[in-house]
Amino acid sequence: MHRDQRIPWHKLLSQALADALTGLPYQVSTEEELALRSQRLDVLIIEQEQSAQATSRPAEDCPDGLEDLTKHNLLSFKAADASFSAWFAEELLSHSVTYRKVASLRALRARQSDKAQPLEEPKEGYRLLPAEDFRCYAIATRFPRQLVKQLRSGSCQKTGKAGIYHLRFGTRDMRLVVINQLERHPRNAPWGLFATDEAHWRAAFASYRSHSDIGIHLHNLIGYFRLGEGYMAYTQEDMHREAREWLTGFLPDLDPEERLRGLDSDLVLSHYDPEERLRGLDPRFIEAWLAKQRQDH
């Protein structure tokens, strides 16, 4: 890998969180557009309605700091050696103000009959969504000592979990996640992939367990960027193709019962012509089945 190759950290973190939250009612997007003049939020996690297909997962299974997500979660991420400074904290809070307006307008339009109109602020006032539905997350690889020095004493408080802090910035609260300080546990592997401590991220890479094909693809990407292994796909279609190819490679090692588990028998048989379906059956069984069919009809 070339030293000057730019690593898409925000995209990788978004995929890590999307995979970590698979089965939970949340949608993860990357670099959400917040203004007509481009202002992009690093990562946004929005609560979704629970679908019938979604699996039930305990909150303890989520990476530390994400076990109690609210309806709208805004994340600012400073990768590698970038320091999370006061400027970035101000930027995050600015994004949260803008996004709260955007989310409120989207909710307002969803209740209106004409949903084709472009999103814009009405001249008259409108009700904002509750402030408690929004939370800001400052994600840093290292503890932001310079930022904390600039704040009032007591503005940064430890929580019961290593690497997770309550940060008071001005009149607003945000959650600070310091990746290098997090407990090295498999549930924190999605965070640990982005640690600057080599032993930390290698342990996370080894213990990472995907919940979807997004996670499989993410693991390939991290290996490519940090270890020079694997290859990279740039589209969603490529990602699904890679995941299928990866899974297909394990099929020959499975017993027939394992390979067919969960498949509809009629669907499986539809892929074979009648002669192939009868091949290997005892002729007496076929004759008995035909005789029964004649009797029934």
Per-residue pLDDT band for 125 (boundaries 50, 70, 90) equals confident
Pick the more confident residue, 129 or 282: 129
Q: Are strands 164-169 and 156-158 parallel, antiparallel or unpaired?
A: antiparallel
CA distances from 17 to 192, 222, 293 (A): 12, 14, 55
In 161-282, which ranges are continuous DSSP H helix?
189-192, 198-207, 213-227, 236-248, 256-260, 265-269, 274-278
Strand partners, 177: 139, 164
pLDDT digits (tens, 9 = 90+) for 209-252: 988 888 888 888 888 888 875 545 445 566 566 667 766 766 77
Least confident of 37-46, 123-132, 142-151, 226-235: 226-235
- Determine the length of the chain: 297
Pick the more confident residue, 5 or 143: 143
> What distance lies between CA 157 and its chain's CA centroid?
27
**Domain range summary for the chain, segments of one domain joined by +:** 9-253, 264-296
Amino acid at 79: A
Pick the more confident residue, 230 or 118: 118
What pLDDT sits at residue 235? 52
288 Cβ neighbours under 8 A, 6+ residues apart: none
Question: Of 214, 195, 40, which Cα lies nearest the Cα of 206?
Answer: 195
Least confident of 110-114, 274-278, 288-292: 110-114
Stated pTM of the model: 0.69
- Sort 154 into a burial class: Cβ within 10 Å, 0-12 / 13-18 / 19+: exposed
What pLDDT sits at residue 116? 59
What pLDDT sits at residue 233? 47
Per-residue pLDDT band for 113 (boundaries 50, 70, 90) equals low
- pLDDT over 90, % of the chain: 45
What pLDDT sits at residue 243? 64
Mean pLDDT value across residues 35-57 = 75
Mean pLDDT value across residues 31-45 = 78
Main-chain phi, psi angles of 66, to 5 degrees:
-110, 10
Question: Of 181, 177, 219, 178, which Cα lies nearest the Cα of 202?
Answer: 219
pLDDT digits (tens, 9 = 90+) for 169-214: 999 999 999 999 999 999 999 999 999 999 999 999 999 998 888 8
SS3 28: strand
